[in-house]
Structure 1
Amino acid sequence: MPRPVLVAALWGLVLVLGGCRRTDPTPRPPETPEAGASPAAASSTSGAILFVSADTQGYLGPCGCSENMRGGIARAAFQVSEARQGALPVLYVDGGNSLFGEKTLKPGQVPQEELKAKALADAMRMMGLSVRATGPLDDTRGAAFRQGLGLPEVADGAVKLLPAGPRKVGVVAADSPEQLVAASAKARSDGADFVLGLLDAPLEEAQKAAELPGLAVDVLVATRSASELSGEQNRLVKATVPVVAPQSKGRSLVRVDLSYAKAPGSFSLQKGQADLEREVAALEQRTTLLDKEINLPGIDPKLKALKQGKRDELVARKQALVSAPPAASPDVNGFTVRFVPLESGLPSLPDAQALVARYDSEVGKLNLAWAKEHGQDCPAPAKGQAGFVGNEPCRSCHEESFPVWEKSKHHHAWETLEEVGKQHHLNCVGCHVTGWEQPGGVCRLDKVAGREDVGCESCHGPGSEHADEPSADNIIASPGEALCVTCHNPENSPHFDFATYLPRILGPGHGKPSDAVSPDKPADERKPAKP
């Protein structure tokens, strides 16, 4: 081979090998936060990475009722673990309101929710939690239970200094703006180079706090959403102090990248991130559109697979953007703030995923045992009120309606829980049986038989009076969008569209005007009109 050709070939091989990336999805075990980098590396490090979770509301992962649902502590654990593969120190901080989803629990909920909180705490330890703040949703079972989990905490109004290479990050927690101002000042006096504020308040209140004189934080995280709707998206307000609110229920992480100048000094939000944010937003929009198409009832499997492949490609591109180190100037102490949406196509940390699987297995057995020992039947309907009777009494008059229902996903609602082992999960069962926790319905996990699936009464209301005396006047409910979204809500069915989904559950014998009651027929032969 001529020498010039040989040299070119060798250079080509070098370039190819130099561009290879490790594709093994199993990361190395995470190091402790303080040991995020070796002493030698820390002395020459050019920055640090902070991950922040908040407002998790007791979620280990999404329910799985829809395709491509975000979230999951195992996916979050993978992101933190992957970042620790580099030379920069990595800190993981939780903002609180994470252990439970409600401030009060019914007796039957207690075993499940305590077990879930313990699983979340184990996962946070696995992720190398540096420190966490606390909120009302952490004290649902009392301060003693929370403290018994053994997680590192920073009290409201207090400061925790964390080493981050040659700099110190101060984490301050507060449940009022005034407390936040005082705690941030203390963090500076204690030697914090960068201050992360955790305020137990919604975004709008945090924005007002960010304008207070004397506030000494660099980034402020609102750790509690104002409503279900407000928690459905990531929000970043860029002002003198950037204010962030991650998507609730563990669906996103906040990532803060710090870059260090040669000399200590104040930090400033780095410029030039607008183009990246616009590209990420465009990818988000395209992903959302594909999600709706993928979740269309009755979509052709081949078309669905093609669209899913395209979606996975977009997720990979977005992930590369949000995890790439920002451009930094050696003369400026700077930082960037980004969200890491925990998309379904992202990997999970195997050990964390195993922890979630153990919880899924144990909690079902725990709930079933509790129901058998302590469960109470639903109260009987009040006098003059209808009760639930199940599908079979409906079939005797409406046989022609059942083929439509039997082809729908409503008919397989219970089966979908059994496939993933969640048929005894209290968070799931209510939308997969008929008449859950309603008078005359089903209130015990050990007495679900005959009420499985989303049956006639789920949409039309309890049917005892109508079964006894069929009439259009005693059909309790008139199905509409308001009723559907009690289960097809943004959390469980984020891509639901009433106008698109409705035709999928209508058909011959179900929803046809010709089925209306005929006044010429005897009462026992009449069939009520379908709404």
Structure 2
Amino acid sequence: MNPMRAFLAAALLAASLAGCARKDPPPKPAEADASSSPATAAAKPAAAASQGSGAILFLSADTRGYLGPCGCSENMRGGIARAAAQVQSARKGSLPVLYVDGGNSLFGEQRLKPGQVPQEERKAKALADAMRHMGLAVRATGPLDDTQGVDFRKGLGLPELAPGAVKLLPAGERKVGVVAATTAAQLAEASAQARAQGADFVVGLLDVTLDVAQQAVEQPGLKADVVVATRTATEFSGEENRLVRSAVPVVALQSKGRSLLRVDLAYAPQAGPFALQKGQDDLEREAAALEQRTALLDKDINLPGTDPKLKALKQGKRDELVARRQALLDAPPVTSDGVNAFTLRFVPLESSLPSDAEAVALVSAYDADVGKMNLAWAKAHGQDCLPPAPGRAAFVGNEPCRTCHEDAFPVWKKSKHHLAWETLEQVGKQFHLNCVGCHVTGWEQPGGVCRLDKVAGREDVGCESCHGPGSEHADAPGTHNIIASPGESVCVTCHNPENSPHFDFATYLPRIVGPGHGKP
């Protein structure tokens, strides 16, 4: 057996032994959430088995104002509480742990409507509090951090790194230099300064997209060991983790707080340059294969109408695969004697991973506050939607449809569309502006509803969500005045990559049609 396969076998054995060791007394309440999953249990023997000296870095970037996933689909990745659990778990080991943020994290867009301001500012403050709880060492900034102005950003009190600046962080026996930049030339100059100031390992935080970052690392004079591209081009362009292996590796994280980057540093007895560990190919292939199997199970689990027993079995298998993958990620890297080495590993924040209790409390406080704030703002400042243009239909709600289409309603009531508003109420998010639009009918459309305090009668994804405003059809029924045909273009306005990552129109459509509703 070659050394890498032996290492993989040892890592998986450690995960199995960790599962057996759970007969120990239960953890203290403050640690219960970070100690309850097989994946986290596997991290403990891995940390204890670590030999030699080194450090662990966790990096986030392009979080875009996300405290957690929307929850519209099952097994969604992400969440600051899961990220915090990963960092805090690593700190239980013997190696120093640093947490760094690459920026573009506080807001999701650069311009806010007046009604969005209370919610988005409160969310940014909750993110800042969570980062402090995680022991944030330093962060770069980007345009999405300055949505509410520089003064607001600075008022959050986070340790920041200006473009072109250098920050040296103690990391056990070595120093890690973090540099921020917006151009290739600035990155090269700042990385050289970091080396001159005594940095042993240099991380470049470059506020550009991955493609631009790949060009930047080809510039002469660059002294960084790894460069993180901290910005995605569009809201939905950061759907995958990306690692480009070049002379200086370039990383782009999955956006919206869905993954962390973990950098493991292993120190040789003497200081010197760091080499990206080449012997982890088998490890990466094994982890990638487990992730692919997990993704296939996710599609089955999210398929409408899946038998509950079968769904539970598939969910159990999925959780097992996530635990096995996490055990590989948490295992200590293998290094050659006498060489300073590092590994780069993505940590997808899967739904079955633990959450940090204090971070959960911060998110819960935000959820409670923002609903009250948004409802109060709507009552004080909200404005009704504009009426439809002359000759255009208005929204009338489901009841006028029932008069002629009573046989369609049983089909609708069996679908999740019928429970759209209830799902928000169950988690206390019925007054969250980034949720409500896909859970009511006619949100912010002419003749629809534009105020959180006037949603009554428009709850759920009703007939007009798919078929368009129905006042003219209700007054004079006929095929000529049905505004919209429920094609794929209508569905993907809500069933987008973020809210419904496994959506497939041809697969989902037959699940919501029936006699009187799409079938003869």
Contact 1:196 1:218 in 2 (8 A): yes
What number of residue pairs does the alignment pair up? 487
Aligned partner of 1:241 among 248, 261, 267: 248
Cα separation, 2, equivalents of 1:28 and 1:128: 20
Q: Does 1:383 align with 2:370?
A: no
Cα separation, 2, equivalents of 1:274 and 1:197: 24
Cα separation, 2, equivalents of 1:18 and 1:423: 39
What CA deviation, in whole Å up to 9, does each residue of 1:432-471 have, x standing for no partner?
A: 0000000010000000000000001100111111112222
One-letter code of the match for 1:438? Q
Q: Does 1:363 align with 2:389?
A: no
CA drift at 1:330: 3.3
Match of 2:294 in 1: 287
Contact 1:218 1:241 in 2 (8 A): yes
Match of 2:280 in 1: 273
Query: What does 1:213-232 correspond to in 2, within 5 Å?
Result: 213-232=220-239
Aligned partner of 1:335 among 342, 346, 356: 342
Aligned partner of 1:467 among 471, 474, 477: 474
Name stretches of at least 5 consecutive residues in structure 2 with no aligned partner: 1-16, 35-50
CA drift at 1:24: 3.9
Given the two structures, how large is their TM-score scaled by the length of structure 1? 0.89
Q: Does 1:488 align with 2:495?
A: yes
Cα separation, 2, equivalents of 1:110 and 1:263: 52
Contact 1:75 1:347 in 2 (8 A): yes
Name the SS of the counterpart of 2:514 in structure 1.
coil
Q: Does 1:48 align with 2:55?
A: yes
Contact 1:291 1:495 in 2 (8 A): yes
Aligned partner of 2:265 among 239, 247, 258: 258
Cα separation, 1, equivalents of 2:141 and 2:471: 48
Aligned partner of 2:194 among 183, 187, 190: 187
Contact 1:177 1:209 in 2 (8 A): yes
Cα separation, 2, equivalents of 1:289 and 1:402: 32
CA drift at 1:384: 1.5
One-letter code of the match for 2:237? S
Contact 1:27 1:81 in 2 (8 A): no
Cα separation, 2, equivalents of 1:191 and 1:263: 14
Cα separation, 2, equivalents of 1:177 and 1:480: 45
Contact 1:89 1:165 in 2 (8 A): yes
Aligned partner of 1:411 among 413, 418, 443: 418
Match of 2:518 in 1: 511
Contact 2:52 2:266 in 1 (8 A): no
Contact 1:55 1:225 in 2 (8 A): yes
What CA deviation, in whole Å up to 9, does each residue of 1:35-63 have, x standing for no partner?
A: xxxxxxxxx96100000000000000001
- Aligned CA RMSD, in angstroms, stands at 2.0
Aligned partner of 1:76 among 70, 83, 88: 83
Contact 1:28 1:85 in 2 (8 A): no
Contact 1:260 1:330 in 2 (8 A): no
Query: What does 1:146-185 correspond to in 2, within 5 Å?
Result: 146-185=153-192
Name the SS of the counterpart of 1:257 in structure 2.
strand
Name the SS of the counterpart of 1:492 in structure 2.
coil
CA drift at 1:29: 12
Cα separation, 1, equivalents of 2:282 and 2:205: 28
Match of 2:328 in 1: 321
Change (3 A) 1:51 1:292: same
Cα separation, 1, equivalents of 2:384 and 2:366: 26
Runs of at least 4 residues off by over 6 Å: 16-19
Cα separation, 1, equivalents of 2:498 and 2:149: 27
Given the two structures, how large is their TM-score scaled by the length of structure 2? 0.91
Name stretches of at least 5 consecutive residues in structure 1 with no aligned partner: 1-15, 31-43, 515-531
Match of 2:486 in 1: 479
One-letter code of the match for 2:370? V
Match of 2:356 in 1: 349
Bigger RCO of structures 1 and 2 (CA < 8 A, at least 6 apart)? 2
Match of 2:507 in 1: 500
Match of 1:301 in 2: 308
Cα separation, 2, equivalents of 1:483 and 1:324: 45
One-letter code of the match for 2:213? A
Aligned partner of 1:199 among 198, 206, 209: 206
One-letter code of the match for 1:155? A
Change (3 A) 1:141 1:327: same
Match of 1:93 in 2: 100
One-letter code of the match for 1:113? E
CA drift at 1:291: 0.5
Match of 1:13 in 2: none
Cα separation, 1, equivalents of 2:52 and 2:116: 47
Cα separation, 1, equivalents of 2:502 and 2:287: 20
User: How high is the sequence identity, in percent, across the aligned residues?
Assistant: 76
Name the SS of the counterpart of 2:251 in structure 1.
strand
Cα separation, 2, equivalents of 1:143 and 1:492: 31
What CA deviation, in whole Å up to 9, does each residue of 1:234-269 have, x standing for no partner?
A: 110111011011100000000000000101111110
Contact 2:33 2:356 in 1 (8 A): no
Match of 1:438 in 2: 445
- Quick check: which has more Rg, 1 or 2? 1
One-letter code of the match for 1:115? R
CA drift at 1:426: 0.4
Match of 1:140 in 2: 147
One-letter code of the match for 2:389? A
What CA deviation, in whole Å up to 9, does each residue of 1:413-433 have, x standing for no partner?
A: 000000010000001000000
CA drift at 1:18: 13
One-letter code of the match for 1:334? A
Contact 1:45 1:88 in 2 (8 A): no
Aligned partner of 1:422 among 429, 440, 448: 429
Contact 1:45 1:165 in 2 (8 A): no
One-letter code of the match for 1:390? G
Change (3 A) 1:395 1:285: same
CA drift at 1:154: 0.5
